Amino acid sequence: MRELLLIRHGETEWSRDGRHTSYSDLALTERGEREAEALRPWLAERDIAEVLVSPMARAARTAELAGLKNPETLDDLHEWDYGGYEGITTAEIRRERPGWFLFEDGVAPGPPGHPGESPAQVGERADRVLASIGPRLGEDGGDIVLVAHAHFLRVLTARRLGLPPSAGALFRLDTGTVSRIGTEHGRPALVAWNGRVGAGGR
């Protein structure tokens, strides 16, 4: 049975520094490019049927360096719109909002075109992605790969496992990693999580 492979893009300057990055289209750092390239040998051994990629350049570049062929851009794979928290760290936000927690509290409104998203809104986007690929996940054949962003993929994982969007908080996801969701007894189940496959990982 095919698996759903989740790849977080390689490191950028802001991801390295803990800055929330959604609509800012930053390039990969040299380390980020190496992280993406490290995925190539492992992915080359997988039977991959479909590759869906976020519209952001950092995701597309990760897919390219990882050797993924014929990627299709899917707008719904973009990162959580952080609104007014774009480029700001959690520590900085908590100076104004003590105890702030993204997966429960959402974000402040941002500039025109970026009002920010609530956890429920991100969950709705994740549900649309899953609905679009869900029928194919139940078939035999090659894996489906999603190349996207940490917070969005964490929410998507929660939704795939039947959990609320806020449960994405349980799934830490580092840059340049691959995770696998398969099935057990006909139900979605984690197979592997947050692995660096090119550096002694699985």
What does the pLDDT look like over 156-170, one tens digit per residue?
Answer: 999 999 999 999 999
Is pLDDT at 7 greater than 70 in this prediction? Answer: yes
Q: Strands 48-53 and 178-184, how do they pair? A: unpaired
Options 11, 35, 79, 117, the catalytic residue: 79
Instruction: Report the mean per-residue pLDDT for the chain.
Output: 95
Active-site residue (options: 9, 20, 78, 149): 9
The DSSP symbol for 116 reads -
The answer to whether residue 79 is catalytic is yes
pLDDT in tens, 130-182: 999 988 887 889 999 999 999 999 999 999 999 999 999 999 999 999 999 99
- Contact (CB, 8 A) for 152 and 80: yes
Tens digits of residue pLDDT in 78-121:
999 999 999 999 999 999 999 999 999 999 999 999 999 999 99
**Percent residues over pLDDT 90 in the chain:** 92
Side-chain half-sphere of 28: how many Cα atoms within 13 Å? 25
Residue among 83, 92, 76, 102 nearest 22 (CA): 83
* Residue 57 predicted with pLDDT over 70: yes
Can 9 be counted among the known catalytic residues? yes
